[in-house]
Amino acid sequence: MKRAVAVAALAICLAQPSTHAFAQTVADQCFAIGDIAGQVASWRRHKKTKEQALTQARKYYKDASDREALTAMIERIYSSSEAMTPDQASMLFTQECARQKKPASTQ
């Protein structure tokens, strides 16, 4: 009985990483956040309205956390008084995401 439980526990532990990778969303990946921020900044620079950007996000991103992240990104990029370049937006959002995901140092 103990052996069966140990084998089941091991199987679950080994399955966890692949399950998590499958369940990842755009909001979990800093490089994707940066790429999308660059795209949103490009939309703004090319005179796409904030409402058009939000509609585009709703059309292509179905995951709730992705939509939440994109909506916040669109709000921030469009509320800025000066339009960021796509490179500036990409670097800013990638850097902020990486800072949030960085584990706190324990000393």
Average pLDDT, the chain: 79
Q: How far apart are CA 84 and CA 6, in angstroms?
A: 54
Residue spans per domain, the chain:
25-101
Residue type, 56: Q
Q: How far apart are CA 52 and CA 49, in angstroms?
A: 5
Strands (E), the chain: none
Which residue has better confidence, 39 or 21? 39
Digit-coded pLDDT (tens) for 92-107: 999 999 998 877 665 5
Which has the closest alpha carbon to 26: 74, 61, 52? 61
pLDDT at 78 over 60: yes
For the chain, how many helices (H) and strands (E)? Answer: 5, 0
pLDDT at 15: 44
